[in-house]
Amino acid sequence: MTGSNIRKRIVEYKSSKIFRILTIDGLGRDSKFVGLVLFTAHYFPSCSADDHPLSKRLCFFQTTILQTTYIPRYLSFKIVREELGDNWRDHFAEFDERPFAAASIGQVHEGVLPDGRRVAVKIQYPGVAEGIDSDINNLMSTLKVANVLPETLFVDSVIEVAKRELAWECDYERERQCGERFAALVAPYSQYYVPSAIPHLSTKRMLTTELIEGTAVDKCVHLNQETRNAICAGLLELTLRELFQFGFMQTDPNWANFFYNESTQQIALVDFGACREYSKNFVDLYIEVIHGAAIGDRQKVLQFSQEIGFLTGHEAKVMKEAHVDAVMILGEAFRHDRAFCFSEQATTRRIQELVPTLLQHRMCPPPEEVYSLHRKMSGVYLLCARLGGQVNMHPLFFDIYRRYKFGGAW
């Protein structure tokens, strides 16, 4: 890959961060960002995600370019030398010079430590962390000139979220710390596994962790129904615990961040660059919104939607009704004490029917926490649909709600 192509790839990655926030596509060819549409109406008008050229470009970028292109060997070795020193090979008994995977902002090599441990070494592409502000500002200026963004998108909020998330994801030292924190949080739950980081071989631009075994969860469609249900239940339970128990969530919905190990029956979790905290005050209100939907209480949904900042209270009646309708659709997964079949629901179509109203009448941007939260929730819902998951989420949610302690700190 030439220097100019590297720069082009970096800019495209930063563009994809914006598009993942703006569009209802971003998880692959089969995906629609149900949750993101549901609360924020961030989409390109008069076009489905599958038809819009920007969405098509992003989908191609994520599923083709990111998976098949790598930086030259000399350049990746240059980065490793800068991070670990000229004698960096002394830290490895073996190091595969050809990467086995390409991430959004880096590539991953397999290695073996002197003590025999197999590791994954993620090396960040050069220049990714540089010029975040200018690249995003230039992109948004272009989109504004092209007149593809509706005024009710509240672009300034999107820009601030994108800049902050990009800065987080470019800091591998932060990612290592988040992974360690996450490992401690899920330690009591044996169905999850977080690979250990190797601190002395990790820096801001390089992250070395234990190499995991397993299959990316979206590739588990061939497994039996019971196993697929268990995978879906594990991911849904994790999402609820992240928000309502930990106050700390890995918000990247990329399905390649979750692997299933058939031997151990564990879900392995990787890539913690998009982890973030949620304030206790936000979660106190958000759990009431979801509880209102779960018990079918439209007035409660409306009340707490206003308190949390989804609505101002001055919207037209049609907007309030559409917002509550959308939330109630999401709450269906928790409403009844029986298995909810994700693949048989018309959730996407029903939400899309509400989008024009949500877009036309929105009077305020959503709380900034919502961008990342609903991106993660959407990814999990869509993965469960892909796997044909049948999960009874009613007992878990209501148990979490009963145990939830309002007020105070985490």
| pLDDT at 31 exceeding the cut of 50 | no
Look at residue 265 and tell me whether its pLDDT is greater than 90: yes
Per-residue pLDDT at 12 exceeds 70: no
C-alpha–C-alpha distance, residues 383 and 74, integer Å: 38
AA letter at 181: R
Min mean pLDDT across 52-56, 278-282, 318-322, 351-355 is at 52-56
CA distance 53 to 13: 16
Residue 105 pLDDT grade (very low, low, confident, very high; cuts 50, 70, 90)? confident
pLDDT band, residue 15 (cuts 50/70/90)? low
Average pLDDT of the residues in 143-168: 76
Q: Where do we find the tokens 């998330």?
A: 165
The C-alpha atoms of residue 166 and residue 19 are separated, in whole angstroms, by 13
| DSSP conformational letter for 214 | S
Closest CA to 220 of 11, 383, 394, 406: 383
pLDDT at 134: 75
Number of C-beta neighbours around residue 126 at 10 A: 18
Decide which of 84 and 45 is more confident.
Answer: 84
Say what the alpha-carbon torsion angle 398, 334, 320, 323 is, to the nearest 10 degrees: 130
Q: CB 324: neighbour CB atoms within 10 A?
A: 21
Amino acid symbol at 120: A
Choosing from 25, 135, 252, 271, the catalytic residue is 252
392 token code pair: 């009874």
pTM of the model: 0.83
The HSE-up count of residue 400 (CA atoms within 13 Å, CB side) is: 23
The β-bridge relationship of strands 192-193 and 266-269 is parallel
pLDDT at 246: 98
Positive or negative: CA dihedral 103, 106, 110, 113: negative
Q: Which of 322, 321, 333, 237 is nearest to 294 (CA)?
A: 333
Alpha-carbon separation of residue 61 from 54, 56, 95, 103, 401 (angstroms): 10, 8, 28, 12, 40
What pLDDT, on the 0 to 100 scale, is given for residue 9?
55
Helix (H, G, I), strand (E, B) or coil at 316: coil
Question: What values do phi and psi take at 206, rounded to 5?
Answer: -150, 130
- The 3-state DSSP class for residue 277 equals strand
C-alpha–C-alpha distance, residues 342 and 345, integer Å: 6
Residues 293-350: tens digit of each pLDDT: 999 999 999 999 999 999 999 999 999 999 999 999 989 999 999 999 998 877 777 8
State how far the Cα of 287 lies from the Cα of 283, in Å rounded to an integer. 6
Pairing of strands 215-216, 258-261: antiparallel
Cα Rg, the chain, nearest whole Å: 21
Q: DSSP secondary structure string, 148-175?
A: -S-GGG-HHHHHHHHHHHHHHHT-HHHH
pLDDT at 147: 67
252 carries an active-site annotation? yes
Contact in structure between 378 and 35 (CB atoms under 8 Å): yes
Amino acid type, 290? I
Q: Is the per-residue pLDDT at 58 higher than 70? A: no
Query: Which tokens sit at 293?
Result: 């939907």
- pLDDT average, residue stretch 47-62: 42
Residue spans of alpha helices (H) in 190-335: 225-241, 280-294, 298-308, 317-335
Report whether 229 contacts 390 (CB < 8 A): yes
pLDDT classification of 16: cutoffs 50, 70, 90: low
Mean pLDDT of the chain: 83
Task: Provide DSSP, 359-400.
Answer: HHH--SPPPTHHHHHHHHHHHHHHHHHHHT-EE--HHHHHHH
User: Can you tell me the distance from the alpha carbon of 104 to that of 195, in angstroms, rounded to the nearest whole number?
Assistant: 20
Residue carrying structure tokens 């302690």: 405
